[in-house]
Amino acid sequence: MKTFLEYVARDIVSKHGTNLADTMIVFPNKRASLFLNEYLVRAAGKPVWSPVYTTISDLFREHSDLIVGDNIKLVCDLHKSFVACTGIDEPLDHFYGWGQLLLSDFDDIDKNMADAGKVFANLKDIHELDGVAYLSPEQIEAIKTFFSNFTEDHDSELKRRFLRLWSKFGDIYSDYNERLTAQGMAYEGALYRRVVTDTAVEFSHGSYIFVGFNLLQKVERQLFKHLKSEGKARFYWDLDKYYMAADGPVQHEAGHYISSYLSDFPNELDSHATDIYDNFAANKQITYISAPTENIQARYVSKWLHDNGRMAAGRSTAVVLCNESLLNAVIHSLPDDIGSVNITTGYPLSQSPLSSLLYALIALQTSGYDANHDRYRLHYVNAVLNHPYACYISAGSKELHKAINTDAKVYFPDRATLCIDDGLSLLFEDTANGAADATRAGQITSWVIKLLKRIADNSADEKDPLFKESLFKMYTLVNRLDGLIASGDLTIDVITLQRLLNQIIQSTSIPFHGEPAVGVQVMGVLETRNLDFDHLLILSCNEGNMPKGVNDTSFIPYSIRKAHELTTVDNKVAVYSYYFHRLLQRATDITILYNNAVSNGNAGEMSRFMLQIMVESNHAIAQKALQSGQTPAVCNPREVKKSGHIMDNLLARFDLSRNPQALLTPSAINRYMRCQLQFYYNYVCNIKELQDDDEGIDNRVFGNIFHLAAQYIYEQLSGRQDVITPSALKSLLSQPAAIERAVDSAFNSELFKIKAGRVRATEYNGLQLINRAVIIMYLRRLIEIDLKQAPFSIVGLEEDVRRDFVIQAGGSTISTTIGGRVDRIDRISDGAGERLRVVDYKTGGKKIKPLPDIEAVFDPSRLKDHSDYYLQAMLYSLIAGESAQLNPANLPVSPALLFIQHTAGDDYDPTLCFGKAPITDVMEHRDRFSEQIKEKVNDMFNPDIPFVPTADDNICKTCPYAAICGL
């Protein structure tokens, strides 16, 4: 296949020779120049004086004293003109999005050389339309149709607001252009218009060759006409007979614009030459492939490249992304042996790790900073310290993270705690420094710039080019904002800065640099202009991606756009139709994929252009479908046999001969009864549940704090007297400060991880204060309950109760320790006589139902009734009752569960019951309990009995291992 640019090069050499130094070749975009330069050398067969290559945009800019402002600056100045003309003090971050829209409208007006005053004519001037000679009757009727919708008697508030705004657009347009001109600046459309209307502008090259254009704005047509009238312009049009034929009932939209320009700007090539312009009808292998997801399309790239020699074809092979957000997935799907590859489309800056770091930094100085106390919030500090790029800010970031999370839990660290080296001193620099909110934004941008410079300095050895490019791009953006703030062009507060940065980052991409004439080409649709490929893979060719952006989002309604010959939806569809058909016309191997899934706003429709080819062309099109080759992950738990490796892990955890610290707790036994696989994952595989790193307090931590505070209080009481008397408890209730001190000490130890001997004032956030108040209330309720039981004696607080336990499993004898820690053991005397109580505090809200008998304790179906609480309380009670140290008088022992939230009533008794009978002496149930627990534990360690999943779906729904169970 001979490409369009090869024909152009051959024709240029034949007509202009090899001395092209005084020739300028103009393209719609830059990419084609390198290809044409190579083709010129081939066509000449000898050295060539190279022409000057440029784009249409650069051509205009070279002939103006004005410069085109960057988008941020342009929108900021437009915001000033908007406020000045309307008196509406719209915040910049709210204005930014639709400010870009208004700027686009102004740009379109100027590129099409429309009269802005007439475009934005007020409703009061509608009567003048009848005498406007410059409009055709159809255009006048279109405008009348639009305005008639706003002249009804029942005018809505929306209409009135629109018309008030509409009446100011002309003033905004004029003020904005004057504002920019005074600074020596312009937006692109205004600059173009000045160039073509300025008769003093001189075009110094002897010849201008325009290659591969399609839709021409009026300013471009004006430029073409001017250069043609001077005898300097030549035109090369890339087209095909398929969509240029005028003998059909309707002209093909892809050829609409070129056909209208050929008479004014004749083609240098023979438009009837079949070898150049009749390629769409040639034999082609076209395949349409539907796919259920975007990522599956990306993964298909590797297979497609390996087939039919496509990868070896190098630059004759192209992967075109209709949805450029697929770039990341495509890059990671390219085969390892691909060799050279050239990527033209940009990588979204928002997908780079640097953007997440920037968001974390801004959040650290806004939501993460407590200005009233000059401290930071741990959650936001951790977000920065855990970022992979934190090491480039400070090598001590990991050390600091450990110091404020593991060594101690410092929820509100101050700068003295955080600034342990130069990098961290910069990270936690005071960006407020007494500044007003309106000026602090500039201090934050300056601070971010210093951090980005430090990252650059400390990452000099980093080899990842994407990291370096994203760092440079982010630095450029923030530095531009900082310059605008410093110059006074941008006056915003910190919150607006945060939103503005987010909008800018979302719309910014990182350009790839490379040699475009080498290797497989990966590009977006716009980069394909003027280029031809033998092998073509088009991804995500869905309606909505191809054509892209066919909505007509604008402040200027369609009818008025149509009347003033501005760009409309029709123009956009025709342009993309040309891009699509031109891309296919010389290719022989074409594969087009589209997403057929109906989800996330995607209608699952192939592009209308694909349907057109199916209906209108004579090509046979193969249709295929991609499938993921995966089945949905369905939870299918399977039993796990106790292999030698598994038994080794099990015994290493619980066998005293291997682990002197071995302890089989009631929690482990209960977990085994709840679900043996859950036991396996937790105790054999040692996969622990994730703990939330949050400033809040979960149920486990809440309960631990309550238990510890209760221990502190009763240690003080029992340390002063052997018997806890009613008067002592009443005295404690009358001293709220003593209870609060106990709670604060428990918080320091359990939540803030302050080691014994260290002193630090307790600092709480809002949620922690609420939890503190609830724990204080619960402690008071506990004391009030005990007041009804007093006098009593404390035998032990947070007491370890353990005993040796022998297991007979599979013919082997295993020794372990069984037991745990009891919240409280006390000695009471009531109507049932004197006895010990083994008390377990419960702060949860669920009330348990009494079990009928001992068998129910070991029935897994009764777990919903909290039979696990029974097992724990009875086991602890049996061990305590047989302990000579805890029960020297051999008193009866009662298991008790004291539910703090369910203690109302004077007759409340926490003693466990079977049926309605309280368990006043647990020894009455010792034999049967011991038989049952031995049976369960022996099965647990029997190598011939596998770990079997539970049959209770309710347990699976709340199981932390549900996601990995059965994998």
- DSSP single-letter state for residue 249: S
Q: Are 510 and 477 in contact (CB under 8 A)?
A: no
Give the bridge partners for 53, in sequence order: 25
Confidence band, pLDDT 50/70/90 cuts, at residue 691? low
Single out the residue of 338, 281, 287 nearest to residue 315, CA to CA: 338
Please state, as a whole number, how many other Cβ atoms lie within 10 Å of the Cβ of residue 840: 22
CATH of domain 285-346+513-625: 3.40.50.300
Confidence band, pLDDT 50/70/90 cuts, at residue 246? low
- DSSP single-letter state for residue 51: P
**Measured CA angle at 233 (ends 230, 238), to 5 deg:** 160
Residue 747: alpha-carbon gap to chain centroid: 35
Confidence band, pLDDT 50/70/90 cuts, at residue 127? very low
Q: What residue has token string 């919903």? A: 864
Single out the residue of 467, 539, 452, 470 nearest to residue 509, CA to CA: 470
The mean pLDDT of 721-728, rounded to a whole number, is 88
Confidence band, pLDDT 50/70/90 cuts, at residue 849? confident
Whether pLDDT at 247 is above 60: no
Query: Rounded to a whole number, what is the distance in angstroms from the first to the last CA of the chain?
Result: 52
pLDDT digits (tens, 9 = 90+) for 562-584: 888 888 888 889 999 999 999 99
Confidence band, pLDDT 50/70/90 cuts, at residue 123? very low
Please report how the helices 157-182 and 92-111 are oriented relative to each other, as an axis angle in degrees rounded to 10: 70
Q: What is the mean pLDDT of the chain?
A: 87
Single out the residue of 549, 586, 568, 542 nearest to residue 215, CA to CA: 568
Domain boundaries in the chain? Answer: 4-63+202-277, 67-195, 285-346+513-625, 350-510, 667-675+689-957
Cα–Cα separations (whole angstroms), residue 521 to 313, 486, 528, 536, 661: 11, 42, 10, 10, 63
Residue 608: alpha-carbon gap to chain centroid: 31
Q: Are 922 and 878 in contact (CB under 8 A)?
A: yes
Q: Are 536 and 316 in contact (CB under 8 A)?
A: no
CA 220 – CA 583 distance, rounded (Å):
23
Give the residue with greater pLDDT, 631 vs 716: 716
Q: Are 546 and 48 in contact (CB under 8 A)?
A: no
Q: Are 173 and 193 in contact (CB under 8 A)?
A: no
Q: What is the pLDDT of residue 124?
A: 43
H-helix segments, 183-207: 188-197
Give the bridge partners for 797, in sequence order: 824
CA 318 – CA 343 distance, rounded (Å):
10
Whether pLDDT at 154 is above 50: no
Residue 883: alpha-carbon gap to chain centroid: 58
Give the residue with greater pLDDT, 655 vs 133: 655
Please report how the helices 494-506 and 465-487 are oriented relative to each other, as an axis angle in degrees rounded to 10: 140
Give the bridge partners for 291, in sequence order: 595
Q: Are 795 and 839 in contact (CB under 8 A)?
A: no
Q: Are 327 and 347 in contact (CB under 8 A)?
A: yes
The mean pLDDT of 538-551, rounded to a whole number, is 85
Contacts of 870 (CB under 8 A, 6+ apart): 851, 856, 857, 895, 912
CA 950 – CA 675 distance, rounded (Å):
5
Single out the residue of 172, 155, 261 nearest to residue 215, CA to CA: 261
Q: Are 825 and 796 in contact (CB under 8 A)?
A: yes
- Which tokens hold the place of 906? 């004077």
Please state, as a whole number, how many other Cβ atoms lie within 10 Å of the Cβ of residue 165: 14
Give the containing element (helix H, strand E) for 44: helix 32-44
- Which tokens hold the place of 834? 């004197």
Q: Are 706 and 749 in contact (CB under 8 A)?
A: no
Give the containing element (helix H, strand E) for 700: helix 699-720
Please report how the helices 867-881 and 926-941 are oriented relative to each other, as an axis angle in degrees rounded to 10: 110
For domain 4-63+202-277, the CATH class is: alpha beta
Give the bridge partners for 805, in sequence order: 816
Matching fold, domains 4-63+202-277 and 285-346+513-625: yes
The mean pLDDT of 49-60, rounded to a whole number, is 95
Single out the residue of 224, 258, 799 nearest to residue 574, CA to CA: 258
| CA atoms lying within 13 Å on the CB side of residue 396 | 14
Q: Are 14 and 39 in contact (CB under 8 A)?
A: no
Whether pLDDT at 786 is above 80: yes
Whether pLDDT at 141 is above 50: yes
Q: Are 514 and 111 in contact (CB under 8 A)?
A: no
Give the containing element (helix H, strand E) for 333: helix 327-333
Single out the residue of 629, 591, 683, 599 nearest to residue 286, CA to CA: 591
| CA atoms lying within 13 Å on the CB side of residue 926 | 15
pLDDT digits (tens, 9 = 90+) for 415-467: 999 999 999 999 999 887 655 555 788 899 999 999 999 999 999 888 888 88
| Stated length of the chain | 967
Q: What residue has token string 């994952």? A: 681
Candidate from 405-419, 465-479, 654-668 with smallest mean pLDDT: 405-419
Please tell me whether residue 290 adopts helix, strand or coil conformation: strand
Whether pLDDT at 771 is above 60: yes
Q: What is the pLDDT of residue 108?
A: 94
Cα–Cα separations (whole angstroms), residue 653 to 84, 391, 668, 750: 75, 37, 11, 26
With pLDDT > 90 as the criterion, what percentage of the chain qualifies? 58
Q: What is the pLDDT of residue 967?
A: 64
